[in-house]
Chain A
């Protein structure tokens, strides 16, 4: 082996280029790493700072230029407590009994969680981190109690969380089930594997249009079904929940393949002899899955769900194409909210919403990572 290596061109080279090559070689550790780091710095850190400044300013376009006035947290205040509150959080107009009940349950749940954490183990960093998680959960719980459970519409935060939590949950369950079915010893696995993967390839814009055609009650492929059910004049895009669910179905159609592919690979990497030994011992299929297969694939499952949640928060194409955020603001995701604010040249509000999205994403993902992924991987 060593003899082969000696003839590599890196070794014998014309003298004039030797200095440069040696310089490259000596500094290779820097040449390898820093281009990536510097590019990310330039494209994320500086824009992030600029975005923060914009979020704290009021920007007005006048004539050819624009003027910027620093207004501290006024933009955030407007979104959270001011005239844009209905748009971001929802309409608060009195709580119903159910609303109070949900709010009380959330509060009690959080309190129990705090007490049980403090009694079991306590580190300062762990406590501060959990404090943010608790605060966020409490806020979202009360927001939902005052809007959803009191019969008032909620804003883009609630919609985004609906897409992420309900959507990703359903996608995970269906993706995992399909992967499990495909990992059984059946014929035609290769066929299903390829077909199930296809939706991931299609541009989200295309998915949006395709599902708009699917959902058309008069000209779409299912219009006979709608007619038969007496829903010919039902416009799903005019009903908030129907519209949200349709967008979620389109999103699931596209992303279930991702979970399916990764989970299938994970299921197939579980050693066959474990499963066979359990089968010989007479364990049922469900027992084998629960006690042998599932513990083996849990780390992958947690990670793939985390990736999906991260990407899920960025949803914008589907609501934009399928409903343009309507009816009203019912299907508007936070990215779309920021995009619309940008279109109306309100850069300050747009950046503020984008920052709120960043905050929500980071809190959710870091909580999920620390409380679920790390624990599962270590266990």
Chain B
């Protein structure tokens, strides 16, 4: 089985936000929630850099470890998913996540959180693959259709790579070799405890 990962080649990201838009549209993500976003560091200054970030589907995922109701599960493709039926909206996964991936619709009084929403790697949720219930709760299940996450598919500069970790790491290494530079796989050390030498 594949070990699915995201890799953002920060030297190619131009902050076009196509990934963000593709994601919101594909899954009909509710207003106020972004499963993916592009962060620009040193915006407008020399040394500016943009990185597209969503749930990294960590190895030994912190969200799953701290969840009080154990609503997370890891698929055979190492995609970290959760059940919105079990989620109680406590916010603990949000405290633990290194990438700010969990999002909460604001429902009810005070700051009370609804069911957590995050990137599913376009792999839906615990409901039957491609079912209406699954779509309503988690969005499209492209993985079940043999397709990769839409954010990476739509990336205008092919900066964002999605797929089996070893394959995308190989693609990235070849790029770095050919062009002669690279800034590493952002977030990989935190998410997977490994980096790609560049």
Q: Do A and B belong to a common assembly?
A: no
